[in-house]
A and B are shown apart, each in its own frame.
Chain A
Amino acid sequence: MIEKALTGNRSYWLWILFLLALIAVGAASYRDQLDYGLGITGMGRDISWGVYIGQFTFMVGVAASAVMLVLPYYLHDYKAFGRIVVLGEFLAVAAVVMCMSFVIVDMGKPSRLLNILLYPTPQSLVFWDVVVLNGYLALNIVCGWVTLEAERQEVPPPRWIRPLIYLSIPWAISIHTVTAFLYAGMPGRGLWLTAILAPRFLASAFAAGPALLIVLSALLKRVSGFDAGGEAIGKLATIVLYASIVNFFFLAMEFFTAFYSGIPAEERSLDYLFFGLDGHAALRPYMWLSVAIGAAAVIVLSVPRLRSRERYLVAASAAMFVSLWIDKGVGLIIGGFIPSPLETVTEYAPTLHEVLITLGVWATGSLVLTLLYKTAISVKQSG
């Protein structure tokens, strides 16, 4: 079935070539990083996690969002999602591939990667993250591929796939909960030490993932004529709307607890992100931009006359995705390190190598997504 990904028009192959070029540049940058050390990035003693882990955190959310298609369709027989469930599952596959790639490029000693399996440490959340992410990858590849293959053969999917699909639903919740636990259990990091970090992660995931799916569906319609269906897209938009409202609510809750309690350890990181701390405010414009475009997206999504127009819907979805990317991929991770445990403010900016490697990983995920989507669209359009 993968041979369907090997046929395409000129634009398709130009896109593949473009992605391969990005991957090659990223790989060359990564080789530089292996030579020099992680110091080639903007990370340092105070900001020991940067863009890589920020992207990893965000993409885990995108991966988890597949459950927003799987759950209504398989558990509640919501037929309108039938055409696009596999797109959600394949997006999860591409996103998990990106997550693992980001973790690997962030490691100081990637040659010792197997140590995680040789010395399993159940008390460490990284161990569980490796377990659940790999399991989720396997689940989604199998579920997506088998159901697509069945669709191609025009037969119902085999019975044994059902339990796996049902398993992927709580599993999706677990991957993002475990990732939130990476942060939420650390003493001394006030921005992260909050019980609502996992709920906040899930809410932003369920807003970002479906938003991306809306954008991707519009793109697919343009390049291949594949129509996801108005009802499905409309329902996705509803999911994005309510999930993002919940996410903003959670953000407001963070503000309240931090500032009403007046406890400096709780306040300082939010202070830095949104208002500036000790004269440092490099991330402030981005955080407010995130709030602004997120709010604008919420408005567009809630006004029926606006959201029914595809152009506005796609723009709002893209804006919501970017807003959450800034909030989670940049603000949350970097903000957790400011102020440092030494109570100083060190600011962070990624370097060129870091950005190129990040783009290379994004291109890798996009390539996986392109190949899988091409296969899926070919099957759906031929049958």
Chain B
Amino acid sequence: MHGKLPAFIGIALFAGVVTFPFWIGGERKPMPPPVIEAGLTQCVESAAFMRANHMLLLDQWRDSVVRHNDHIYVNRAGQRFEKSLTGTCLGCHSNKAEFCDRCHDAVAVKPYCWNCHLAPGQPAGPAATAAALPPPSSRFAVTAIPRRGE
């Protein structure tokens, strides 16, 4: 196929496919705000700072604590905190589902912190956690290989 017409048709198709998320429409939901517990007046840094930088802050904290044995964070106001996700952050924002997950779920972000770090009161024990796991998939009829949860 040669010529201007097929080229323009192709460009138009491409533009349509690429801009699809913008014109597909659908309900526009506002981002649900995270629930800040009553009585909390001040975070480690300001809310605006945290909104923009909490991921970077946590990334620096984890390297600093694990690799440099540097546990103390001094914020811009000179106040000192322990660098700890579960201790400091969740010490105030103790409801992970209402605070952290609100925004993360809305933007489909799955930080893998929670694969290891435990939220306060997170259910434990083999029964509790095994039930939460997806059923093991098996594409081969092999009985000898142990499955998750066994």
Establish whether residues B148 and A36, one from each chain, have CB atoms under 8 Å apart when the complex forms. yes
CB atoms of B145 and A40 under 8 A apart:
yes
Chain A residues, Cβ within 8 Å of B136:
35-36
Smallest CB-CB separation from B134: which chain A residue?
Answer: A35
Instruction: Tell me which residues across on chain A come within 8 A of B114, comparing CB atoms.
Output: none
Q: Does B56 contact A (CB under 8 A)?
A: no
Min Cβ gap B135→A in Å is: 11
B19 close to chain A: CB less than 8 A: no
A25 to nearest B CB, angstroms?
9
Q: B69 at interface (Cβ–Cβ under 8 A)?
A: no
Among residues 21 to 42 in chain A, which have CB atoms less than 8 Å away from a CB atom of chain B? 28-29, 32, 35-36, 39-40
Q: How far is the CA of A96 from the CA of B147 in the complex (A)?
A: 33
Measured between C-beta atoms, what is the minimum distance from B62 to chain A in Å?
14
- Chain B residues near A40: list those with CB within 8 A: 145
Query: Which one of A29, A32, A352 has the greatest number of beta carbons of chain B within 10 Å?
Result: A32
Which residues from A are CB-within-8-Å of B144? 351-352
Q: Are A32 and B139 in contact (CB under 8 A)?
A: yes
Which B residues touch A351, using CB under 8 A?
144-145
User: Is B46's CB within 8 Å of the partner chain A?
Assistant: no
Question: Which A residue sits closest to B146, measured CB to CB?
Answer: A39
Which residues on the B side are within 8 Å of A28 (C-beta)? 139
A352 & B139 in contact (Cβ 8 Å cutoff) = no
Main SS at interface, chain B: loop
> What 1/0 flags go to B130-146 for Cβ under 8 Å of A?
00000011011010111
User: How far, in angstroms, from A28 to B139 measured CA to CA in the complex?
Assistant: 8
Consensus secondary structure, chain A interface: helix
- Bound complex: CA A332 to CA B145 (Å): 26
In the bound complex, residues from chain A placing their C-beta under 8 Å from that of B137 are 32, 35
For this complex, into which size category does the number of interface residues on chain B fall? 10 to 19
Across the interface, which residues of A come within 8 angstroms of B148, CB to CB? Answer: 35-36
Q: What residues of B have a CB within 8 angstroms of the CB of A352 in the complex?
A: 140, 142, 144-145
Which A-chain residue is minimally distant from B148 (CB atoms)? A36
Shortest CB–CB separation between residue B68 and chain A, in angstroms? 15
Interface check A328, CB cutoff 8 A: no
Asked if A353 CB lies within 8 Å of chain B CBs, one says yes
Q: How far is the CB of B134 from the nearest CB of chain A, in Å? A: 9
B147 partner residues in chain A, CB cutoff 8 A: 36
Closest CB of chain B to A22's CB: distance in Å? 14
Residues of B within 8 A of A32 (CB): 137, 139
Question: Which chain A residues numbered 50 to 80 have a C-beta less than 8 Å away from chain B?
Answer: none
B11 to chain A, nearest CB (A): 28
Q: How far is the CA of A353 from the CA of B140 in the complex (A)?
A: 9
Within 8 A of B (CB), among A318-373: 351-353
B140: chain A residues at CB < 8 Å are 29, 352
Closest to A111 in B: B112
List residues of B (1-31) whose CB comes within 8 Å of A's CBs.
none
Give the docked Cα–Cα distance between A351 and B147 (Å): 13
Closest Cβ of chain B: how far from A150's Cβ, in Å? 33
| Closest beta carbon of chain A to B130's beta carbon, Å | 14
User: Complex: how many Å from CA A40 to CA B137?
Assistant: 13
Nearest chain A residue, comparing its CB with the CB of B147: A36
Q: Mark B102-125, 1 if CB is under 8 A from A, else 0.
A: 000000000000000000000000
Min CB–CB distance B33 → chain A (angstroms): 31
Residues in chain A near residue B145, CB distance under 8 A: 40, 351-353
Give the CA-CA distance A32 to B148 in the complex, in Å.
11
Q: Report Cα–Cα, A352/B143, bound state, in Å.
A: 11
- Residue with the highest number of chain A CB atoms closer than 10 Å, among B144, B145, B147, B148: B145
A-B residue pairs in contact (CB < 8 Å), sample of 21: A28-B139, A29-B139, A29-B140, A32-B137, A32-B139, A35-B136, A35-B137, A35-B148, A36-B136, A36-B147, A36-B148, A39-B146, A40-B145, A351-B144, A351-B145, A352-B140, A352-B142, A352-B144, A352-B145, A353-B142, A353-B145
Q: A40-B145, A353-B145 are in contact. List 18 more A-B contacts (CB 8 A).
A: A28-B139, A29-B139, A29-B140, A32-B137, A32-B139, A35-B136, A35-B148, A36-B136, A36-B147, A36-B148, A39-B146, A351-B144, A351-B145, A352-B140, A352-B142, A352-B144, A352-B145, A353-B142
Residues of B within 8 A of A (CB): 136-137, 139-140, 142, 144-148
